[in-house]
Each structure stands twice: as structure tokens, then as C-alpha cells.
């Protein structure tokens, strides 16, 4: 679906983190809708390197880009932005980041998510390229209000994204380019498989059920509620952010909080599974958001964003891909 009247044909687009979940979906959006758009994917790609928590340092995977016809550059945003110095982009979609909320290396988190963003923003200014970047609902942390100005991050990941937003907000005041930060809530959908343990619980529960297992939920999952957003609405927000009424930081969610129990119940209905659920203690108490619900009033007003997929509709659209992944 085309989300605004910009003709991206003949435009040059950079997608950092373009071999990841959201980045690869963006790459194919342009390829499918604007075949003359020049898309460059910049990604660290995965290696065997892991953080101290055992999770991979990069989730970018070539299989997310099978069928992609644009240009691919392997590089680390901390050290390799010089590889892009001879390009002249019209739009930069900055998705690259350490997105694992359980990483405890504060210095590396801030270096990657904040310092590198500042360098990329400087590059965007020099090129006069509009900047659309990934922020996060993790900026709200323990807040009870999910609106701009009510941030209370409870881990270094959320802190780093808030610092990104602060850098962007300061730059907006003196910039001639459009700068839009998108605070993603809980995103799920196609091409997230290679996120491994950090893939959405929609996928993880779906694969558990297809394996013939009981869905493993944290105790009290009927009361743990999040704003779950389907990937297609995230793409919508990114495209609408290319032509904002006003630069700024905006929430990207559905505006509706749903429980993890809801996810399992919808999946069981779509997969025609009747099986009891299994409940386990939550080991992340203190680092865990028990409730999120995006206030999308500003996103509607200044981006023209309107979510198209409820949780039921999103899972229904995703279900065939979950089955394919399971085999």
C-alpha cells in the first residue's frame, strides 16, 4: 500500500540495519512499490560474536534480503560510516542499533545507539537527507503515561533511545531537514525470525504451539498488557514520516493494550489448537514493562498515521508465515 504522495522513484534511500527485521521490510517496500528507487542497505550482518548475556551482537541476516535487488554494504555504524561518504541520499532510515534490552554493557549501548546516531545525523545534514530513525517505547519504562515528556527508562537500552531523542530534538530546532523519531512499541511480523530469542512472543508462542507444546506464559499474563503492532503499520509510520507536518518524536503503536494471554488465545484459534497453557515465574521483574499503551494522538495529527491492524488482524495476516517458518 502507498502511504503518501511522495514518488520515491529516482530517489536515493539509505537503510541502516537493513538486513534486520524492520529494515529489510522497508527495503522491500521500496523495491515493490518504487522499482526505480535506489536503495542502499547498510548492516553489520551477524557473526558468532555474542554479548555477555549470550545473545548475538547482530541479528542482520542475508536471508532477510533474498530477492533484494539494491546495493548492500557490510559495516558497523560505530566505525564504518566513512563507507557512505561518496553517496548523496534523499532519505535515511536509521534502524541499526543494539536492540536487545537485556544487554548490560552501558558504554557499548550508548556508543552504538547515541554516539553513532549523532555522527549519522551530521552526515544527513551534510547531504540534506531527511532522517527517520527508530526510537523505542522502552523510553517510557516504568511510566504510567505513554506520551512524549513522560519518559522513565528502566534499562540502559531505554535510556540510550531517550538520549537519541534528546539529540534529535535539539537538532530539529536548527535544522532544515525533516527529522522524525519513531518510538516503536511491541512489533511483530514477517522477517523477525532471525532475531532469535528477542523475536516477538507472537512468533515464539506460535512456534511452541506448532511444536505440539503448551504455550509458556509468565504468571499473571492476563494482566501483563502491551501495545502490539504489526510490521505493516510500522512501515506505514516510516513512510508517512518522510513527509511530516512537523519534525519530532512520535509513538508508533495501535493505541490499544492487549495481554500476552490474548496472543496465545488468538493463535490457538487461528491454528485450531486446543491445549492448556503453562505458567512460569517471571525472571525479569524490575526490568520489565507490565503495561504499555501508545498515545498516538500526535502521530495522527502530524504524520497522518492511523493503525490498520488490530492484534487479531495482524496475527491472522502473519499466521501463514509462522507456519512456513515452522515447516
Among all residues, which ones are annotated catalytic?
157, 195
Look at strands 38-43 and 179-184 and give their pairing. Answer: unpaired
What phi and psi values does residue 4 have, to the nearest 5 degrees?
Answer: -155, -175
Give the C-alpha separation, 76 to 42, whole Å. Answer: 8
What the block records as the C-alpha cell of 205 is 508462542
- Could you tell me the three cell numbers for 69? 535487488
Task: Name which of 228, 238, 236, 239 is nearest 310 in CA terms.
Answer: 228
Residues 289, 226: Cα–Cα separation, whole Å: 8
Of 43, 122, 51, 110, whose CA–CA distance to 80 is shortest? 43
Whole-number Cα distances in Å, 90 to 47, 121, 167, 269: 30, 13, 21, 44
Supply 184's cell numbers: 516503536
Whole-angstrom distance, CA of residue 214 vs CA of residue 208: 7
Residues β-bridged to residue 181: 133, 249
State residue 279 phi and psi, 5-degree precision.
-115, 130
Q: State whether the Cα torsion 87-129-158-300 is positive or negative.
A: negative
Alpha carbon distance 212, 204 (integer Å):
13
User: Which long-range contacts (C-beta less than 8 Å, at least 24 apart) are formed by 126-129?
Assistant: 127/87, 127/88, 127/89, 127/92, 128/176, 128/177, 129/14, 129/88, 129/89, 129/90, 129/91, 129/92, 129/177
For the chain, the residue count is 327
Amino acid at each position: 500500500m502507498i502511504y503518501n504522495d511522495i514518488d520515491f522513484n529516482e530517489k536515493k534511500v539509505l537503510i541502516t540495519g537493513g538486513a534486520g527485521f524492520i529494515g529489510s521490510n522497508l527495503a522491500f517496500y521500496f523495491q515493490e512499490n518504487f522499482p526505480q528507487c535506489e536503495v542502499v542497505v547498510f548492516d553489520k550482518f551477524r557473526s558468532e560474536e555474542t554479548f555477555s548475556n549470550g545473545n548475538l551482537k547482530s541479528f542482520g541476516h542475508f536471508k532477510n534480503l533474498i530477492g533484494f535487488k539494491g546495493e548492500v554494504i557490510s559495516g558497523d555504524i560505530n566505525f564504518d560510516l566513512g563507507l557512505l561518504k561518496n553517496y548523496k541520499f534523499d532519505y535515511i532510515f536509521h534502524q541499526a542499533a543494539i536492540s536487545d534490552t537485556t544487554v548490560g554493557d552501558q558504554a557499548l549501548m550508548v556508543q552504538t545507539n547515541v554516539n553513532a546516531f549523532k555522527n549519522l545525523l551530521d552526515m544527513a545534514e551534510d547531504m540534506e537527507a531527511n532522517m527517520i530513525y527508530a526510537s523505542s517505547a522502552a523510553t517510557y519504562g516504568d511510566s504510567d503515561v505513554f506520551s512524549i515528556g513522560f519518559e522513565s527508562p528502566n534499562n540502559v537500552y531505554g535510556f540510550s533511545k531517550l538520549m537519541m531523542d534528546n539529540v534529535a530534538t535539539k537538532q530539529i530546532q536548527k535544522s532544515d531537514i525533516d527529522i522524525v523519531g519513531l518510538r516503536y512499541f511491541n512489533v511483530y511480523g514477517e522477517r523477525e525470525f532471525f532475531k532469535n530469542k528477542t523475536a516477538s512472543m507472537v512468533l515464539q508462542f506460535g512456534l511452541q504451539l506448532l511444536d505440539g507444546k503448551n504455550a509458556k506464559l509468565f504468571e499473571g499474563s492476563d494482566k501483563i498488557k502491551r501495545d502490539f503492532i504489526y510490521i505493516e503499520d510500522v512501515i506505514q509510520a516510516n513512510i508517512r514520516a518522510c513527509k511530516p507536518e512537523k519534525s519530532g518524536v512520535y509513538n508508533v503503536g495501535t493505541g490499544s493494550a492487549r495481554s500476552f494471554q490474548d496472543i496465545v488465545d488468538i493463535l490457538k484459534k487461528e491454528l485450531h489448537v486446543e491445549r492448556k497453557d503453562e505458567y512460569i515465574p517471571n525472571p525479569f521483574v524490575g526490568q520489565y514493562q507490565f503495561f504499555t499503551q501508545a498515545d498516538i494522538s500526535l502521530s495522527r495529527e502530524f504524520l497522518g498515521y492511523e493503525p490498520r491492524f488490530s492484534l487479531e488482524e495482524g496475527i491472522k495476516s502473519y499466521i501463514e508465515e509462522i507456519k512456513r517458518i515452522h515447516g
